[in-house]
Amino acid sequence: MTSRTTSSATSCIRSADGWSCHQHADGGVDCIAYDTRPIFGGKVVIQAKRYKNTVGVSAVRDLFGTLQNEGASKGILVTTSGYGKASFDFAQNKPIELIDGGNLLYLLEEHADIKARIEAPEDWRDPVPDSAESVS
């Protein structure tokens, strides 16, 4: 999966329900979207992580901080890999949605008609993992 496809994934998520979106190049946010539905809608921050290994809880904490800083009603973290237990535990009861590689591929095919595979380049290096979580 290339960075172009990752960008398509972000586009797919934000357009799935007719959200309007503004690309965002700083502050750790890939996209700020606006869900226009009454009551359920609001500002949504979307962050994409192209990882080979497990995304650590620090990325989820960072998203939550950004969500609060931006005054958003929801945060979505998308990855080409998966999340550890600590990430799911932290996200529980918070307005955060974690989308792993399998769900990402499903969304791409279902909403953008893109059949993709996730293959990281052999020389790809993830950021240093959180010490409390192992990588596989």
Strand (E) or helix (H) holding 59: helix 57-70
Instruction: Answer for the pair 103, 76: CB distance below 8 angstroms, yes or no.
Output: no
pTM over 0.85: no
Which structural domains are found in the chain, ordered by start?
3-112 (3.40.1350.10)
The pLDDT value recorded for residue 135 is 44
Each residue of 85-117: pLDDT tens digit?
999 999 999 999 999 999 988 888 887 788 888
Q: For the chain, what is the mean pLDDT? A: 80
- Residue-by-residue pLDDT tens, the chain, 136 positions: 455 545 545 554 555 556 666 665 556 678 888 888 888 888 889 888 888 889 999 999 999 999 999 999 999 999 999 999 999 999 999 999 999 999 988 888 887 788 888 887 777 777 766 665 544 4
Radius of gyration, CA atoms only, the chain: 14
Interior/surface letters 4-42, b for 16+ CB within 10 angstroms, e for the rest: ebbebbbbbbbeeeebebeebeeeebbbbbebeeeeeee
pLDDT of residue 35: 82
Indicate the DSSP class of residue 132. T
